[in-house]
Amino acid sequence: MKAKELRELSDEELAVKLAETVKELTTMRIKHNSSGVGLEKPERMREMRHDIARMKTIQTERKAKK
């Protein structure tokens, strides 16, 4: 998700999106570690880590402005 799209979300929506993404990443990590096979799209884990970092950065920026 692009930073521009994330900035358009409200504080509450951003927090919900962050929680959902963290939960999804955790689930993917568990699947990846427990199964010997691996994931269909392991690059999705990297994308999600970057998205989480973007969301946290935007939250920090908003807190600094207040």
**What CATH number should be reported for the domain holding residue 20?**
1.10.287
pLDDT tens per residue, range 16-56 = 999 999 999 999 888 888 876 677 788 899 999 999 999 99
Of 62, 44, 63, which is closest to residue 52 (Cα–Cα)? 44
Distance, CA of 24 to CA of 48 (rounded, Å): 9
pLDDT of residue 62: 94
Question: Is residue 25 within 8 Å of residue 48, measured between CB atoms?
Answer: yes
Count how many domains the chain has: 1
pLDDT of residue 42: 81
Stated pTM of the model: 0.86
pLDDT of residue 25: 94
Range of the domain at 60: 3-65
pLDDT confidence band for 11 (50 / 70 / 90): very high
